[in-house]
Amino acid sequence: MAANQEIMDKDRLVTTTEQDMSDELNLKTRKYLRGDGANLETLRDKKLKGQLAVREKLYSQSAKAAAKAEKWLMPTDEGYLEPEGLEKTWMVKQESIIHEVDVISSRKPFDMILPELGPYNLQYASSGRYMLVGGRKGHLAMMDMMSMDLIKEFQVRETVRDVVFLHNEQFFAVAQKKYPYIYNRHGTEIHCLEEHGAPLKLQFLDKHFLLASVNKFAQLHYQDVSTGVIVANYRTGLGRTDVMRVNPYNAVIGLGHSGGKVTMWKPTSVKPLVTMLCHHGPVTAVAFHSGGQLMATAGMDRKIKLWDLRKFGVLNTYSGHAQTMDFSQKGLLAIGYGSRVQVWRDSGNQEYEKYMSHAMVKGYQIGKVSFRPYEDVLGIGHSMGISSILIPGSGEPNFDTWVANPYETTKQRREKEVHALLDKLQPETIMLEPSKIGTVRPPRRKERPTKKETEEEMETAVEAAKSITFKKKTKGRNKPSKRAAKKEEEVFKAKRPFLEQQMNNDRPLKKQRIAEAELPKALQRFSRKKVS
């Protein structure tokens, strides 16, 4: 009896662990599924339904395979900080962390004091290996963070407001006093981008090879750095601002303005995609979460707000100041103000709470915080140089060689550059919801397009017609009157379908109504209905 019960208990134990494992697998599989499957019940076309069912099955199989492979593919573990007893995580100081971790990691945090050359900006390359440092008074330096090597250091003798890497560590752009310049890793000036004007902030859109800048006169410029073409040039109309951030999920540029507005821009439209009134005073900092759903904004009204970018509504409001903000790969939010840095962590359900805190020497003014990708390190650029501190659990531990590789060789770098150029996205693909590419727009109900829309269409058609170039005729056939007549004819041809449509839409209603009422019943089938 007892033996039987033991066996039964064991079975139950076995099944519960199996259950846990399958639950875990389900959870992981959902991550790889990239959204819910399509609802095939509403389809009536059997052939299509069968084809789509096969595809859905393939997707679920591949997601399951990826979830299973996860166990073997992840060589590195995540970082963590677990306090014991009455300790709280924010009370832990950097010294005690450095004391506890291994040798390699204890070399990562440092303080570089460079007092003369002004507040420092810094940026990490997307692989986390290289760091670019730019001091306000013209000091530029590029460092290899893995070997703590200085690659190149030089002086440009001009105000430097921002530094940003281009697609590689081979090239970087610097926002100098009058124009942005592009340098290569040897420090040679390659390009002077005069069209941009006096830039305040630069951002690089990786997949599109676009360099975006906002200048002193609040103009937004997009330039393709692979071909050199200026893709777009817009006047924001909202005054000088130096708060600019690119949303990594959809490559949309977010600008924060002094009226408390945050506007989002894409290179193919004159007006911003979204304008949100975020704060009662000027916006001081904006940061985007890498998943594309969260935006953190801070304003002079001493509020830090978290926004949901699907509904464009406030999720949470906290009180505090922020001069600079940054999200890490794992979703931690670093906020820098004065000489203190705070790191907040999501405690479930988008509720952020204080995780760690770091205070620098009293006089230092923090200008920029930036998390280092694939490492648990936060880089701080301040008025007296640069520092970096350890934040356990902020970086993604396992990188993908084909996405970003900190251990890249020259050959791999070159291959990656070529592939990136081949896969370069056109600026038209930038949209608020990038997963909409390839989907089907729901069928429009048979509403007539509004008058404004048809007018706009007519305008564009007329513009296109006006820009047609005609072949230059010789031997006395090139009279200006004839040329003008031909041009007018083209414009009229472009306008004609719209005018016809207008006629069709406006006129027959009245006539038809009268006509239909007058006809005897047997003849009504011959009234002016379209045989479709």
Binding site for other proteins (CB under 8 A): 31-32, 34, 66, 69-70, 73-84, 87, 92, 96-97, 100-102, 104-105, 108, 146, 207, 248-251, 290-292, 329, 374-376, 390, 392, 395-407, 409, 412, 422-426, 429, 434-435, 437-438, 525, 531
By C-alpha distance, which of 452, 419, 519 is closest to 207?
Answer: 419
Output 32 or 234, the one with its CB closest to other proteins.
32
Output 249 or 265, the one with its CB closest to other proteins.
249
Give dist(CA 340, CA 360) in Å, integer: 6
* Rounded least distance, CB 60 to other proteins, Å: 15
SS3 2: helix
* Rounded least distance, CB 25 to other proteins, Å: 14
Output 252 or 360, the one with its CB closest to other proteins.
252
Output 89 or 258, the one with its CB closest to other proteins.
89
The one-character DSSP state at 353 is E
Output 32 or 171, the one with its CB closest to other proteins.
32
Q: Could you please report the per-residue DSSP string of 109-156?
A: -EEEE--TT-SEEEEE-TTSSEEEEEETTSEEEEEETTTTEEEEEEE-
* Rounded least distance, CB 101 to other proteins, Å: 5
* Rounded least distance, CB 424 to other proteins, Å: 7
* Rounded least distance, CB 78 to other proteins, Å: 7
Output 169 or 376, the one with its CB closest to other proteins.
376
By C-alpha distance, which of 391, 352, 406 is closest to 146?
Answer: 406
Output 237 or 291, the one with its CB closest to other proteins.
291
* Rounded least distance, CB 240 to other proteins, Å: 30
The one-character DSSP state at 13 is H
308 and 294 Cβ atoms separated by less than 8 Å? yes
Give dist(CA 316, CA 305) in Å, integer: 6
Q: Could you please report the per-residue DSSP string of 156-181?
A: -SS-EEEEEE-SSSSEEEEEESSSEE
168 and 184 Cβ atoms separated by less than 8 Å? no
Task: Specify which residues 264 forms β-bridges with.
Answer: 254, 274
* Rounded least distance, CB 327 to other proteins, Å: 12
Give dist(CA 455, CA 450) in Å, integer: 9
Output 410 or 481, the one with its CB closest to other proteins.
410
Give dist(CA 403, CA 374) in Å, integer: 12
By C-alpha distance, which of 159, 167, 169, 73 is closest to 117?
Answer: 159
Which residue type does 119 have?
A: P
**How many residues are present in the chain?**
532
Output 31 or 482, the one with its CB closest to other proteins.
31
Output 35 or 313, the one with its CB closest to other proteins.
35
* Rounded least distance, CB 52 to other proteins, Å: 12
Give dist(CA 370, CA 22) in Å, integer: 38
* Rounded least distance, CB 413 to other proteins, Å: 12
Burial of 12: CB neighbours in 10 Å, binned 0-12, 13-18, 19+: exposed
* Rounded least distance, CB 15 to other proteins, Å: 29
